[in-house]
Structure 1
Amino acid sequence: MRQSGTVGFWRWRRNPLKRRSDVVEAWVVLVVAVLLVIGLPLAGVLAGLRVDNELQRQREERQRTTAVLAEDASAWQAGRYVRFQATVRWTGSDGKEHTAKADVGPDSRAGSTTRIWTDGKGELTGAPATETEAASASALAGLLTMGGTGAVVLGARWVVQLGIDRHRAVAWEQEWARVGPQWGKRLT
């Protein structure tokens, strides 16, 4: 008589025909299930928090600065888009004067001012991510991490399963070589 409720856990029941490879396979299935159910969400959340913390740090560190154009804006072709750049000068938070190429408006002339973003060292940088951009980037990082981690876990399980199946095939072949010839004899 079969007990209900044990069908899904057949690998864990006592059975005289259970092989060592069945026990190994049962443990592999259990570990993979735990990793998929607990590990994937945890990895996704941790990756999202890491990205969010980095973007928050950038928002806190970067600041708007006024810079003076050292030259007139010149057109710069970037694929289908035209950008206007000019050399600009500004004084960083460290008190040193900095010079770099920055994107400016098309009618910008030498001597006029423009607003740029600088980092904690006073170097030219891009604008920090907005709250919405940071939330989107964090969510995307979490999802990609979950997908990548899931692929690694399932790929590792597949490789282990191949090894288990090869081991079983060798064991079957050895057992058949031992028992098979006896089947051809008639019992009288």
Structure 2
Amino acid sequence: MKPGKTLWRWRRNPLRRPSDVLEAAALLVASALVVVGGPAVGVGSGLAAQDAFRQQRRERYPATAFLVDDAPERSPGAFAGNGGDNTVRAAIRWHDAQRSTHRGTTQVEAGRKAGSGITVWLDGTGRLAHEPLDPAGGAVAATMVGALAAVAWCAAVAGAVWGLRAWLRRRRAVQWERAWAKDGPRWGDGRW
């Protein structure tokens, strides 16, 4: 492609429309938003996720909970040899760091007896929480969050440009129809 062809919308030209300049400016801005904004959004989102995972590791702690009742032998609808998870939901009780007693439900191994101790993870308020990611798992998850955020940013920019270009195409078509309705009939009367 010749260098002059890429910048034709910016050159002085009697056929250049204001919408051509607007489209070129939008493409230029979108390119900058993708090149600069995509990595910035990705890194920022990844760092924020990494901080959130670190905060979870600081706040969450393991505790021992005890089954209130016997856990069922098998999950409802499960059948032997399914190769799946052999856990069921069961009622448990536990004490938080302030020694307050709490009750709730969680997944436990099928067939466990009432009073059996299991390890659960609690958040800063003493409620059940998921086990926090270890530093390596947090780094991988934060990287994925950053990558997805960057892709989402670029997709949003591309979608906005696509919408603008579609609107400009419709507008140009309407302008063309108006011009043709005005000047088209004159083509056959010899005035051209």
Q: What is the TM-score when the length of structure 2 is the normalising length?
A: 0.78
Q: Which moved more, 1:54-63 or 1:129-138?
A: 129-138
Cα deviation, residue 97, structure 1: 1.6
Cα deviation, residue 115, structure 1: 2.4
Q: Partners in 2 of 1:67 and 1:176 — Cα distance?
A: 80
Report what 2:15 is aligned to.
17
Q: Partners in 2 of 1:162 and 1:124 — Cα distance?
A: 50
Q: Which moved more, 1:66-75 or 1:50-59?
A: 66-75
The superposition leaves residues 124-167 of structure 1 with CA deviations (integer Å, 9 ceiling, x where unpaired) of 22211122322222222222222333222222222211221122
Q: What is the Cα-based RMSD across aligned positions, in Å? A: 2.7
Consecutive unaligned residues of structure 2, counting only runs of 5 or more, are 79-83
Report what 2:147 is aligned to.
143
Q: Secondary structure at 1:18's aligned position in 2?
A: coil
Q: Is 1:131–2:131 an aligned residue pair?
A: no
| 1:166–1:101 CA distance, 2 compared to 1 (3 A) | closer
Q: Partners in 2 of 1:106 and 1:163 — Cα distance?
A: 59
Q: Partners in 2 of 1:103 and 1:186 — Cα distance?
A: 87
Report what 2:163 is aligned to.
159
Matches within 5 A, 1:88-107: 88-105=92-109
Consecutive unaligned residues of structure 1, counting only runs of 5 or more, are none
| 1:68–1:165 CA distance, 2 compared to 1 (3 A) | closer
Q: Secondary structure at 2:8's aligned position in 1?
A: helix
| 1:182–1:113 CA distance, 2 compared to 1 (3 A) | closer
Q: Partners in 2 of 1:148 and 1:169 — Cα distance?
A: 31
Q: Partners in 1 of 2:14 and 2:133 — Cα distance?
A: 62
Q: Identity rate of aligned residues, in percent?
A: 37
Q: Partners in 2 of 1:109 and 1:181 — Cα distance?
A: 92
Preserved CA contact (<8 Å) 1:75 1:85: no
Matches within 5 A, 1:57-76: 57-76=55-74
Q: Partners in 1 of 2:107 and 2:176 — Cα distance?
A: 71
Cα deviation, residue 31, structure 1: 1.7
Matches within 5 A, 1:3-14: 5-14=3-12
Aligned positions, number = 184
Q: What is the TM-score when the length of structure 1 is the normalising length?
A: 0.79
Which amino acid in 2 is paired with 1:16? P
Cα deviation, residue 55, structure 1: 1.6
Report what 2:81 is aligned to.
none
Q: Partners in 1 of 2:109 and 2:184 — Cα distance?
A: 86
Q: Secondary structure at 1:13's aligned position in 2?
A: coil
Preserved CA contact (<8 Å) 1:92 1:98: yes
The superposition leaves residues 93-145 of structure 1 with CA deviations (integer Å, 9 ceiling, x where unpaired) of 12312233344456754445332211111122221112232222222222222
